[in-house]
Amino acid sequence: MPTGHQTALAELTGALHGWVGPAAIAAGALLLIVALYRRSRATLARKRRAARPSAAEWW
C-alpha cells in the first residue's frame, strides 16, 4: 500500500474515533433515560393496580 494511502487511512481512522466515544456516551444516556421512564411507569401501574384491582382490567 502506498504511503499516501496509509496516511489517508490513518487520518480517516482517527476521525472516526473522534465521534465514537461521544456517540456511545449519548446512546448510553438515552438508554438510561428510557429505562428510568419505563421503570417509573411500571411502578405507577403497579401502585394503581394495588389501589384498585378491578380498574386494572378495563381494556
Query: Any idea where the domains of the chain sit in the sequence?
Result: 19-59
Sorted by sequence, the CB contacts under 8 Å of residue 55 that are 6+ apart come out as 48, 49
Write the pLDDT tens digit of every residue in 10-35. Answer: 676 666 667 888 889 999 999 999 99
Using a cut of 0.85, tell me whether the model's pTM lies above it.
no
Q: Which helix (H) or strand (E) holds 18?
A: helix 3-51
Give the pLDDT of residue 30: 97
Task: Compute the C-alpha angle 54/57/59, nearest 5°.
Answer: 140
